Structure 1
Amino acid sequence: MSTLVNLVRWAVPLRSASRHLHTPAAPSSAAAALELIRSQPSQYVVANFVGKKYILTPRDLLTVPHLRDVKVGDVLKLDQIHELGSREYTLRGNPVISPEKVQVEATVVEHTKGSMEIKFKKKRRKGYQKTIKRKHPFTRLRIGDIIISPDASAQPIPSLSS
Structure 2
Amino acid sequence: MRTDSDLWFLDQCSNKQLEFLYNILTLEIDGSYRKRERLSNSLESEIYGTDYYKYSDRIALELQYQSNDVIGDLLRQNLRDYRDILVDIMIVQNIEIMGFETAEQLEEELILTLNDRALGIQDAGIYSMPFDVLLAEAMNEEVMTSPIYRAIVPAVIYISILRLEQTNNQNNTDVVKVNK
Interval of TM-score (by shorter of Structure 1 and Structure 2): under 0.3
- Larger Rg computed on CA atoms: 1
> Highest relative contact order (Cα 8 Å, sep 6+), 1 or 2?
1
Scaled by the length of structure 2, the TM-score of the pair is 0.24
Structure with more strand by fraction: 1
Structure with more helix by fraction: 2
Scaled by the length of structure 1, the TM-score of the pair is 0.26
